[in-house]
Amino acid sequence: MSNTKIGTNEKNREKIRKLALTGILCGIAIIMSFPFAGTIVLPAVSATVAFIPVIVATIMLGLKSGLMVAFVAGSASLVRSMVIPTMLAPYFLNPLVSIAPRMMIAVMVWLVFKGLMSIPLPKTFDRRPIVVAISGAIGSMTNTALVLGSIYLFHAAPLRNGEPLFANFAPPLTSTLANNDVLTAPGTWLFGIATANGGIELIVNALVTTVVILTLRNAKFAKF
């Protein structure tokens, strides 16, 4: 068999491997979009880990696979908001809240991972655990900032004649909070969520992402 055919077969196997792993991670992302699977309950707060498949796909398989898993994860979040009523569910019907931030997780993780891996260091120093942990933390920060930020920007900030931009799409967040006996201003309330859960989620996601990816790498599923 010629070297050309061998090279072609290897490329085809690699494409099939990536496609299969991307499909598996998409399935995991759908399952983890539901609260019983995508949340780790801690004594004082809960940490969302539903977007870890996005981080894993981006680091293991590349930006294209990461964006595919992110789109599926975001779409699953949108569908969940239709079938599981919560106080914030109406806002996740907006793709700019449910899908766009998930897509940006893949972009930010990819940029940080590639940037850190390109820094010249001695070959004896194994940077991968640190780089993966930092990438996971950045993914968590991106999710928290963009999801809560987009809820405020589109559904709370008085940017259109004193009303939110998407006031006709869902009730203003101010009204929703008042109806649920939350008297805090929307911006303060969202910032409170970010500070209360954000730090814990950052640590949990960095640790879980590192363990998952390094385990998969040792099992020859990840190549980097």
Instruction: Give pLDDT tens digits for 125-174.
Output: 888 999 999 999 999 999 999 999 999 999 988 776 677 878 777 888 88
Confidence check: pLDDT of 46 > 90: no
Confidence check: pLDDT of 43 > 60: no
Q: How confident is the model at residue 223 (pLDDT cuts 50, 70, 90)?
A: low
The topology under which CATH files domain 3-218 is Arp2/3 complex 21 kDa subunit ARPC3 (1.10.1760)
| pLDDT of amino acid 224 | 65
Give the model confidence (pLDDT) of 3-26 as tens digits.
555 567 777 888 888 899 999 999
| pLDDT of amino acid 34 | 82
Bridging pattern class, strands 46-48 and 39-41:
antiparallel
Average pLDDT over residues 186-196: 85
Give the model confidence (pLDDT) of 59-68 as tens digits.
999 999 999 9
Domain borders along the chain are 3-218
Neighbour tally for 59: CB within 10 Å: 31
